[in-house]
Amino acid sequence: MKHTLFFGMCLICLLMISEARARRLETESKSFDVSRINLLELKIEIDVSTLLIEKHSKPGIIDVAAAYDEDKYTLDTEFDKADETLVIKFDREGFWEKKQHREENADLEIFLPDAVEIELKISMKVGVAKMNLGGLKLAGVRCKNWIGEIDIAFDEPNHCKMEYFDLNNKIGSTKIKKLGNARFIDADINSGTGELEVDFRGALETPSKANLDLDIGETTVILPRDFGIELSFSKLWFLSEVSIPREFKESGRRYRNREFKKYSKGLRINVDQGIGSLDFDVR
């Protein structure tokens, strides 16, 4: 019985090795010491991938790990300490050819330090991005995705004011949790076709403003209960459905809650509403 179990385990191991060789999977990791940099510009350019970004346990180190088919993908990095820039490129050979990219496995994980100020700029063609950016020191965030899913969370307050938060997802679902913890001054969120959920709760800065540009789909906006907020609408299509919370009272073309009327400052949200539903939820 023991021999049978042993040979069975050996067979499984051989099958796993042969499968890995057949797929020619490559795993690669790189580490960058950014502890002496004042403001790092981090650019991430991806063709097709699952992207994961989290806070690092080391305060001055950026770690990059990837798993991919070496016949189809290449991972390139360019780190310039003098210019304070780090560029990460994850390319898929023959991307524009008609192939089933979504069936491929290509994963990219990036761990960011919390002691270095960073401008984070992400450009993806097709993919899924899951990012927990809470507790970092982000001076700005810009993320663009053509097709896919974006899931961003700020579980902890950002360690500095964020001058801008720009997100554009052309086709796919977008979910942003506790965006208030980003401590943004100016946010611009563009959702093309798909579902959008934006949660503005957290340690919001005053004053701050956000623009939501919505084309087609269902949108849910979660608002903090005890913070001054003003809502305005640049355009409303006749096919739009909008529900205004009872906590907000109309003032011209704007809607303000009691806290905003009292202090005349807070978060200003402007909405360019397309076709679909728009629901505000006060929590």
Per-residue model confidence as pLDDT tens digits over 188-209: 999 989 999 999 999 999 899 9
User: What is the residue extent of each domain of the chain?
Assistant: 24-121, 133-283
pLDDT band at 149 (very low <50, low <70, confident <90, very high): very high
What CA dihedral angle connects 114, 137, 51 and 68, to 10 degrees? -50
Mean pLDDT of 113-136: 97
- pLDDT tens string 78-118: 999 999 999 999 999 876 665 555 557 799 999 999 999 99
Q: Check residues 198 and 217 and name the one with the higher pLDDT.
A: 198
| Predicted pLDDT of residue 27 | 92
Please state the pTM of the whole predicted model.
0.87
pLDDT band at 280 (very low <50, low <70, confident <90, very high): very high
| Predicted pLDDT of residue 253 | 79
- The phi and psi torsions of 121 (rounded to 5 degrees) equal -130, 115
* pLDDT of 246 strictly over 80: yes
Q: Check residues 48 and 156 and name the one with the higher pLDDT.
A: 156
* pLDDT of 13 strictly over 50: no
Residue 206: closest CA among 236, 185, 179:
185
Mapping DSSP onto H, E and C, the string for the chain reads: CHHHHHHHHHHHHHHHHHHHHHHCEEEEEEEEECCCCCEEEEEEEEEEEEEEEEECCCCCEEEEEEEEECCCEEEEEEEECCCCEEEEEEEECCCCCCCCHHHCCCEEEEEECCCCEEEEEEEEEEEEEEEECCCCCEEEEEEEEEEEEEEEECCCCCCCCEEEEEEEEEECCEEEECHHHHCEEEEEEEEEECCEEEECCCCCCCCEEEEEEEEECCEEEEECCCCCEEEEEEEECCCEEEECCCCCEEECCEEECHHHHHHCCCEEEEEEECEEEEEEEEC
Residue 183: closest CA among 150, 143, 156:
156
Q: What is the mean pLDDT of the chain?
A: 87
Mean pLDDT of 148-158: 97
Q: What is the largest CA-CA distance in the chain?
A: 82
